[in-house]
Every structure is written in C-alpha cells, then in structure tokens.
A and B are shown apart, each in its own frame.
Chain A
C-alpha cells in the first residue's frame, strides 16, 4: 500500500461529458502527479502539483485540468471527454527532495464511448 487511492477505479462515459477523477494520499507529500498509460506510449505526464494550489502542465495536458485545494487531494478533470482520452489514469505522489521516488495508485480505467 503506497498510501494513495484513486476513485473511481472504472468509469464509462459518453463523448462530451465532463469527468473528474480523484486521487487521495495519506502521506502528506508535497508532490502529486497524474499520468495516462496507453499501449506503445508508456506513462505520460498530464499535470503535476508541487503544493496546494500550485500546479503545472506535463507532456499531454491538452483537454485536462487539475486542482489541488488540500495537500491530500489532487483532482483531474476532463472538461469534455473525447474518445482519445480513453486510457488508464494513474496518480502518484512523491516526498520530493533529491530522490523523487514516486508511489503510484492502483489506476482508473476510463472508457469514453
């Protein structure tokens, strides 16, 4: 158990609908990350946060927004879901410092029909 949970674990939604994925950590870590994993692409960073209300874009941020109002929660929102956003989404957290080892949640499988 990496002290991190994601909800929901599975979701099917229709194109054009908004979707919010939640990540919750219990380690009081400063850094949190959202990735998507697709066959042939490995993990790609969507957005990350380096503190409450401090966020920045990753490699594939278009179509996604994030919010972090509390240390323990990091939300990922798809404003208007598209089929290309069908993927498995992973949240991770890190204590930061020189190591930057990351600890991952179990993932959310999102299907956009």
Chain B
C-alpha cells in the first residue's frame, strides 16, 4: 500500500512561476524525502526533512512538514524549463525502507 500520496497528479505552469506540490502520508515517520525523476531516468534525491523539523530550504526548493496533519509540501520558486519532471515524496518509518508516492508530473511552459 502507498504510504505517500502526492497532489496534484499533474501540474502545468508558466516559466518563472512558483510550483507547489503536496504529499500526504498515513503513519508516523522518521523523515520525509523528495525526489525528482526526469523522463527515462532514475530518481534523484532533492531534499530530506526530519520529523522534528518544520521547514527546510535548498536553493530554489522549500519543503515544509506538518506531522500533525501528516503532510508535506514542496515549493519550487522561479521555475525553469529544466524543472519539468516528476516529483515523488518518500517516507521512512522505523527501518531502512522508503515508501514512495505515485508522484506529481510537473510541466514548465516556456
């Protein structure tokens, strides 16, 4: 069963705009991670936020975590054409295994 579910499933925005995607999960977690996947490629780790953190930044990425609502959001500011990809959240709880959501497909329109 999927632990994380991303929303929306697909998102199209103009270049330069901000993109926000959300992830909800079901059980308590140790950390939550976001990954990017370009078409035909493997996943690339973007950012990790621990359960005791509420917000984290990395370049144009901002991740928030609300453990009371069991949800996280990924904000990409000033989007670029190269940001076109699928984005997955993944949760780690208790052991070494990550559980991935089904992803948000982001399209940046030049």
Contact = CB atoms under 8 A, between A and B. Distances in A.
Given A96-B96, A101-B33, A106 B42 contact: yes
A31 B42 contact: no
Size bin of chain A's contact surface: 20 to 34
A1 to B, nearest CB: 11
Contact of B43 (A31, A40, A43): A43
B96 A50 contact: yes
Given A42-B100, A48-B97, A100 B31 contact: yes
A85 interface: no
A90 interface: yes
A48 B102 CA distance: 20
A42 B92 CA distance: 16
Nearest to A58: B97
Nearest to B5: A42
Contacts of B103: 42
Size bin of chain B's contact surface: 20 to 34
B41 A43 contact: no
A43 B100 contact: yes
Contacts of B98: 45, 100, 102
Interface in A22-56: 31, 33, 35, 40-45, 48, 50
A2 B36 CA distance: 14
A88 B58 CA distance: 30
B68 interface: no
Contact of B101 (A42, A92, A96): A42
Nearest to B33: A101
Contact of B88 (A42, A48, A99): A42
B48 interface: yes
24 contacts: A2-B42, A31-B96, A35-B100, A41-B2, A41-B102, A42-B2, A42-B100, A42-B101, A43-B43, A43-B100, A45-B98, A45-B99, A58-B97, A92-B43, A94-B96, A99-B31, A99-B48, A100-B92, A101-B33, A102-B90, A103-B45, A104-B43, A107-B40, A107-B42
